[in-house]
Chains A and B, each alone.
Chain A
Amino acid sequence: DTAVSQTPKYLVTQMGNDKSIKCEQNLGHDTMYWYKQDSKKFLKIMFSYNNKELIINETVPNRFSPKSPDKAHLNLHINSLELGDSAVYFCASSQGQISSYEQYFGPGTRLTVT
C-alpha cells in the first residue's frame, strides 16, 4: 500500500493553463505539506495543513492555492501557469505539525510548462 500518493506523476501543459495536483495519505497523519523542488534539487516548503487548517503559507504567487478537504487529502491548484512553475512538486505528511516528526514524501509530480 502506498503511504503518500500523488496524481498525476507527470503533467505537461502550456503557459496560461490551470492545473491541479492531488495528494492522499493513508498513514493517519494530521499534517500534510506541499514542497517545490527546482532543477537544482532545492526543496522549498510551500504550504502545510494540519487537520484541514492552513499552518504554513510561504511567499508563493497567489496563483497557487492549496485545498484540504479532509486530513487525508491535500490538493494544489495552479492558475495561469508560467514557465517558471516547471519543477517537481512533492506532497508530504507527518504525524503532527511538530518539526521533530519525520516527513513522508509522495512520489512527486513533474510539472513541465511549455
Chain B
Amino acid sequence: GQQVMQIPQYQHVQEGEDFTTYCNSSTTLSNIQWYKQRPGGHPVFLIQLVKSGEVKKQKRLTFQFGEAKKNSSLHITATQTTDVGTYFCAGPEHGSSNTGKLIFGQGTTLQVKP
C-alpha cells in the first residue's frame, strides 16, 4: 500500500542550530500537509503545499514540495526550545482525495538543548 516515510525519526540539536526533516511518498501527492505535535499535546496544522516545487515560509520554518510531488521537507533555521515536538507530514491516500483520508508519516521528533 501507499507509504509516507519520514527521516530522521529523532533529531537532537543544540539551540541555534538548524534542523531539517524529510518526507517521501511512494506515490505522487496532490498536496502535502505538515503538522506539529508538542510533547503531551495534539497535532496542530502548520501548512499545506499544493504546487510542484512550491516553497513556503513561516518565520524560521521553510517548507518545500518536490518537483515530482513525491517528497517534501521542513527546515527550521536557528532552532529554539519552543520548536521541540514531533513534526508529521501527511498526504492524501492515492485515489481517495475526496474522502479526507490522510496518510501520515512516522514523524520526526525534535529535541533542542538550551
Contact = CB atoms under 8 A, between A and B. Distances in A.
A105 B42 CA distance: 6
Contact of A100 (B31, B88, B101, B106): B31
A100 B48 contact: yes
Interface string B51-77: 000000000000000000000000000
Given A41-B109, A107-B42, A48 B100 contact: yes
A31 B42 contact: no
A59 to B, nearest CB: 11
B82 interface: no
Q: How many B residues are at the interface, by size bracket?
A: 20 to 34
A33 B106 contact: no
A74 to B, nearest CB: 13
Contacts, number: 73
Nearest to B102: A99
Nearest to B33: A102
Nearest to A96: B100
Nearest to A4: B42
Contacts of A107: 41-42
A31 to B, nearest CB: 5
A54 to B, nearest CB: 11
Given A41-B106, A102-B48, A56 B99 contact: yes
A31 B33 contact: no
Contacts of B101: 45, 48, 56, 99
A41 B9 CA distance: 11
A44 B105 CA distance: 10
Contact of B30 (A44, A99, A103): A99
Interface of B: 30-31, 33, 37, 41-45, 48, 50, 86, 88, 90, 92-93, 96-102, 104, 106-107, 109
Of all A-B residue pairs in the complex, the 6 with the closest CB atoms, nearest first, are A99-B92, A102-B45, A97-B100, A105-B42, A43-B104, A99-B97
8 contacts: A45-B101, A48-B99, A56-B100, A96-B100, A99-B98, A101-B100, A102-B45, A108-B42
